[in-house]
Amino acid sequence: MPVFIKETVFLLSEIWYNISMSQVLYRKYRPQNFSEVLAQETVKTVLKNAIKQSRVSHAYLFTGPRGVGKTTIARILAKAINCLSPKDGEPCGKCDSCLLIADGRFLDLFEIDAASYTGVDNIREIIDGVKFAPTYGKYKVFIIDEVHMLSKAAFNALLKTLEEPPAHAVFILATTEIHKVPATIISRTQRFDFRSISQADILKLFETVLKEQGTQISPEAQKLIAQASGGSFRDALSILDQILALGGEKITLEQVEDILGVTRLASSQKLLGFILAEDSGGGVKFIKDLAFGGLDLVQFTKNFLEYLRLVLLVKLGTENSDSLGLSPEDQGILTEQASNLNGGRLLDIIKKFLETYRETKQSPVQELPLLAAILSLCGELASTSSPASPNRDENLGGRTPAKAAAKIPGKLDLGAVVDGWAKVLARAKDYNHSLLSSLRLGRIVRVEGDVLVLAFPYSFHKQTVDALKNRIVVEQVLEEVFNEKIRIKVFLEKEIENVKDENNSDLVSEAIKILGE
Ligand SMILES: [Zn+2]
């Protein structure tokens, strides 16, 4: 075991964004020191030299795209400065401090994800505790991931600490959005800019992993996987996990294509076919077979949502099935399924599977939420959350205005929305990363009845959040967090002045109109 850990080179992507496929390789190839980390050569050299000369800074700022190794290097840095016998700027990996940190049991290392709800809640308390001496190590280390998400109060507490840091405290701040970190904070840190990960870096990682695993994958196939990973080491390893599960010593381009594309599409089309035919028996057997075959059902559900997106685009007429780069056969099935679905039914299915996606990730038995969704959509289960069958409407957005109006508006107040917003963002990130980065820029303007008004500085972000598929996600998340049906209405900051005079009912009725489009 220690041999391959030692020889492994790889870099893991950030904590908070992942499409949680199988993570066997990801855990196995977690780098334990600087030399095991691929890429970021400059950052590693500067840090190692500083450690060699015992020049430890009280605050570091790591900035760069997601998945380039910021939190990985932060953990290694925490290990190196607490190591009892560091060598050449590297942690020894054998002393008590090194072992405890590797094991996640080191009491003087605090890892905080500022993007998560609890992170925002607890951060001040944690920062307040900085004045107490470390219980075991040389330094008390605070890694704050996505630091730009901190609340104003938390930033103030942090700033106060950074102005006069105790000798034993080291802060490592990581962010993908440096422009949102206050200048007063930046000026008190030593800043490191992390570069993007190249395809070559990912291929280098594969070389090591495949050698360890005793498997061959053709170079073209490896490149295809690297492309599909979108520059994230974590995603690359997750895909590789699935491919290695095929077994065998040699894996071909065709097999990889199967896993990444063709199979994905075919199984999505099959599942939608069962739902369209309201064939619950067929659908249940299909999912059971997939589960039996060891398929990752979280990933499968995500693929299915991607397919539903295609169906929605074709249904909306914004996309022709022949512009999607599919085979003629797949095009035919897609077009037929889109035309056999009315809009209301399609939205019901999308909402149901957005919910299922989240549940599948949390469920101890992955197939259960999927089976429940199929039974519910085939009318076999009386679902309290799905407004499906009785009111199926021929128009897209089958939700009738009467149903929306029946909700008593005004139960929610602005304060509650502001308080719960971090939770909304944390949940939105489960669904869609690009949506999250736009949604974060939104300012909560006000609540009008059951309509939440948001303002955005730039039209790109406004449009992203306003896109039908994203609005469905946001409203779904709002419902989950506040336990109420809430509609959103989005504006540009500069438009806000113009709508100030609109009254509640106008906003509500217009929001309903938009949803009905
Ligand atoms: Zn050590």
Domain coverage including residue 306: 256-398
- The pocket of ion ligand 1, defined by CB under 5 A, consists of 83, 91-92, 95, 98
Ligand 1 center from residue 142 Cα (angstroms): 18
Same domain, 145 and 277: no
Question: What residue type is 140 in one-letter code?
Answer: K
Q: Is residue 12 part of a domain?
A: no
Same domain, 261 and 386: yes
Q: Which tokens in the block code for residue 166?
A: 């105790």
Same domain, 87 and 154: yes
Domain count, the chain: 3
Same domain, 300 and 329: yes
The DSSP bridge pattern shows strands 451-456 and 443-448 to be antiparallel
Q: Which of 375, 398, 421 is the last residue of a domain?
A: 398
Ligand 1 center from residue 97 Cα (angstroms): 6
Nearest Cα residue to 227 out of 216, 239, 218: 239
Same domain, 142 and 265: no
Q: What is the mean pLDDT of each run of 10 residues along the chain (517 residues)?
A: 27 25 66 90 95 94 87 95 95 95 89 68 74 91 91 86 93 93 95 86 89 87 77 78 80 77 73 93 86 72 87 81 71 90 88 91 87 91 46 38 38 78 82 77 83 84 80 85 86 69 40 36
Ligand 1 center from residue 98 Cα (angstroms): 4
Ligand 1 center from residue 109 Cα (angstroms): 14
Q: DSSP of 208-253, one letter per residue?
A: HHHHHHT-EE-HHHHHHHHHHTTT-HHHHHHHHHHHHTT-SSEE-H
Same domain, 394 and 444: no
Same domain, 49 and 183: yes
Q: Which tokens in the block code for residue 336?
A: 């037929």
Ligand 1 center from residue 106 Cα (angstroms): 12
- CB-based burial, 465-474: b 16+ in 10 Å, e otherwise: bbebbbbbbb
Q: Is residue 311 part of a domain?
A: yes
The DSSP bridge pattern shows strands 487-492 and 451-456 to be parallel
Q: Is residue 208 part of a domain?
A: no
CA–CA distance, 153 with 433 (Å, rounded to integer): 26
Q: Which tokens in the block code for residue 132?
A: 């107490």
Same domain, 418 and 378: no
Ligand 1 center from residue 235 Cα (angstroms): 30
What's the pLDDT at 230?
Answer: 64
Ligand 1 center from residue 36 Cα (angstroms): 15
Q: Which of 360, 382, 398 is the last residue of a domain?
A: 398
What's the pLDDT at 321?
Answer: 66
What's the pLDDT at 264?
Answer: 65
Q: Is residue 223 part of a domain?
A: no
Ligand 1 center from residue 17 Cα (angstroms): 30
Strand partners, 175: 63
Ligand 1 center from residue 5 Cα (angstroms): 16
Q: Which of 168, 193, 218 is the last residue of a domain?
A: 193
What's the pLDDT at 517?
Answer: 33
- Residues belonging to the chain: 517
Q: Is residue 145 part of a domain?
A: yes
Ligand 1 center from residue 213 Cα (angstroms): 29
Q: Is residue 16 part of a domain?
A: no
Ligand 1 center from residue 59 Cα (angstroms): 21
